[in-house]
């Protein structure tokens, strides 16, 4: 079903499927732009441009259009400049995945707000005759509502609005992380064994997508509190898994089979092979070995 631009259509929503802002959603309006800084809907995503893409109503229907970014839009594994939207359309901007949903009023999470003299957040421009977008918030469950020509008043929803963490730069986030874990680092002797061949961890999904770690020695710990191999994922345990050199090869070990999956299965211990995949929430890591 195409997402029609007529006012009789059910509310048209966009939902975040992956990344640090997993679960956020917004009701679409003409001119809703998405980006890392200068946009209505702001994401802490290093692969997004400041103003990366915009959603618009066109004669062909609703579409999301790239605004000249370096990384473009991702649709069915390919880079593209614009995507015609329909119910269920999934696409990516930066490392964040989205899905379009058409909902009835009963399915919507909130009732449309009352609006009066709306002010426009961000630098987005609008076509002549198009209703102005409402003030936008980049809170955990952002609700953006298409406006009619009538003057109304918007009451800010309790608990919405950007958190302090969402406003921090990468340098601030990493600096605070290392300060926090420094007190947990213990200076104790240990046995270090070379990994032959070296193992490469390739992040293919999540906030660290396109990150590559090549490890030449072990054992190693990977997790939210790991000082040298940290997972930037709120769902990750302090130590998500360990990589242990063994006589038959590199062993995977986890004490969190409810959160850490090896090739989609709950395994506490497993011998790693090239092509194996480790899933921790929105983060997916692929294993390769140096040749």
pLDDT at 122: 38
**Extended strands (E) in 219-280:** 220-222, 241-246, 249-253, 260-262, 269-271, 277-280
Ranges of the chain with pLDDT below 70: 1-11, 104-168, 170, 181-189
Residue 279 and residue 291: Cα distance in Å, rounded?
A: 24
Residue whose token pair is 């048209």: 12
pLDDT at 38: 84
Q: At 226, give phi and psi (nearest 5°).
A: -75, 125
User: Within 10 Å of residue 134's Cβ, how many Cβ atoms?
Assistant: 24
Long-range contacts at 79-84 (CB < 8 A, ≥ 24 apart)? 84/2, 84/60
pLDDT at 106: 56
Residue 236 and residue 280: Cα distance in Å, rounded?
A: 6
pLDDT at 255: 95
Residue 279 and residue 18: Cα distance in Å, rounded?
A: 13
Gyration radius of the chain's alpha carbons: 22
Task: Flag whether the pTM goes above 0.75.
Answer: no
pLDDT at 250: 94
Residue 71 CA neighbour count, 13 Å, CB half: 21
């Amino acid at each position: 079903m195409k997402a029609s631009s007529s006012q009789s259509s059910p509310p048209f929503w966009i939902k975040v499927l992956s990344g640090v802002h997993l679960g956020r959603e917004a009701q679409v309006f003409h001119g809703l732009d998405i980006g890392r800084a200068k946009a209505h809907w702001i994401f802490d995503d290093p692969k997004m441009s400041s103003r990366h893409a915009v959603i618009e109503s066109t004669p062909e229907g609703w579409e999301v259009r790239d605004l000249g970014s370096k990384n473009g839009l991702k649709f069915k594994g390919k880079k593209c400049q614009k995507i015609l939207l329909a119910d269920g359309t999934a696409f990516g901007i930066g490392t964040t995945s989205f899905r379009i949903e058409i909902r009835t009023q009963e399915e919507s999470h909130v009732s449309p707000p009352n609006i009066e003299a709306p002010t426009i957040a961000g630098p987005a421009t609008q076509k002549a005759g198009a209703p102005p977008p409402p003030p936008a918030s980049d809170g955990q469950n952002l609700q953006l509502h298409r406006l009619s020509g009538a003057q109304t008043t918007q009451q800010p929803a309790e608990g919405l609005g950007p958190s302090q963490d969402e406003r921090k730069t990468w340098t601030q986030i990493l600096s605070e992380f290392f300060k926090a874990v420094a007190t947990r680092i213990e200076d104790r002797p240990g046995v270090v064994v070379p990994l032959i061949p070296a193992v490469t961890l390739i992040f293919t999904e999540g906030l660290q997508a396109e990150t590559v770690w090549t490890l030449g020695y072990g054992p190693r710990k990977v997790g939210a509190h790991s000082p040298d191999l940290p997972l930037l994922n709120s769902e990750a345990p302090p130590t998500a898994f360990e990589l242990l050199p063994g006589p038959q090869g590199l062993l995977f070990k986890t004490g969190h089979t409810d959160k850490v999956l090896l090739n989609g299965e709950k395994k506490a211990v497993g011998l790693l092979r090239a092509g194996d995949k480790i899933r921790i929430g929105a983060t997916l890591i692929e294993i390769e070995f140096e040749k």
